[in-house]
Amino acid sequence: MNITSATLAARSDAPNLDLLLTGPDVVVLLDGAGGPSAEGSGCLHGVHWYVRQLGSRLLSALLTTEQPPAELLARAIEAVADLHRSSCDLRNPATPSSTVAIVRRREDVLDYLTLHDSTILLTRHDRTRAVSDRRLHGIPELRHRREQMSHLPLGGNLHAVARRAYIAHELTYRNTPGGYWVAGADPRSAAEAVSATVTAKGLRAVSLLSDGAGDYVDVYRLADWPQVAGLLERDGPARLVQLVRAAERGDPSGRVWPRLKTHDDATAAHWSPT
């Protein structure tokens, strides 16, 4: 197993809420979202705690059983919910949550799963396929609100107010039919993940990217997914993260690339399973 990775927090004064975990033939990438109770999430523990509790249980289960990743994710979500059900309001839609991306090799097959907006790249010879859960971006009201923010400069008061309003509306669609799904307190969200088992034969590389790294394609349009796969193989994940940050620093007000925040936690991992 040959894996390289890189991660960079959005801010130097805040923890990185991305979490990459690896084991023999297993890679797990989480990207946390939400906030402490002071920000109205109803949880005393916060996202940093949640992501690590969920990730550790997921990795352990993936290493010790061959059951489908979606089943193991559901159990991990339930187990973490049980840890703070008595102290926190887990019905609050802003309770700590996380995207999930999993790849696991079992002899001649590869299991993969992605929940919410992390991306998995599967590269076979000269062909790369991107797998991601894009339901959030297809919700008309939220798309309209993002477009309304596009003319507001990042860092300004008007953008901050619009961003808070956007997030409040986004939460009403979280883990609901017709909305989008993340790992939070409801294990039923695991069944909504995009998952499959494919042959490992001919698979040259597998890459996992949090949305902060995937924005290089999804938001900044500076490459396509095959080009990113080639960059990861040639120059490594650290180079991709550097390029993302360079693009963002060159557009601090978001005039070229409107977005919700100047920087996001960015993580990329590149695995050659053969």
Residue 78, Cβ neighbours under 10 Å: how many? Answer: 16
Q: Are 40 and 94 in contact (CB under 8 A)?
A: yes
Distance CA 142, CA 140 (A): 6
Report the predicted TM-score, pTM, of the whole model to 2 decimal places: 0.95
What percentage of the chain carries pLDDT values higher than 90?
A: 87
Residues 6+ apart with CB under 8 A from 113: 69, 70, 73, 100, 101, 102, 193, 194, 195
CA dihedral 207, 210, 216, 218 (to 10 degrees): 100
Contact predicate 23/30, CB 8 Å: no
- In this prediction, the residues of the chain whose per-residue pLDDT falls under 70 are 35-39, 274
C-alpha span between 98 and 174 (Å, rounded): 12
For residue 100, give the nearest of 229, 225, 215, 210 by alpha carbon.
Answer: 210
The CA angle 35-242-157, to the nearest 5 degrees, is: 45
What is the tens place of the pLDDT at every residue in 213-265? Answer: 999 999 999 999 999 999 999 999 999 999 999 999 999 999 999 999 999 99
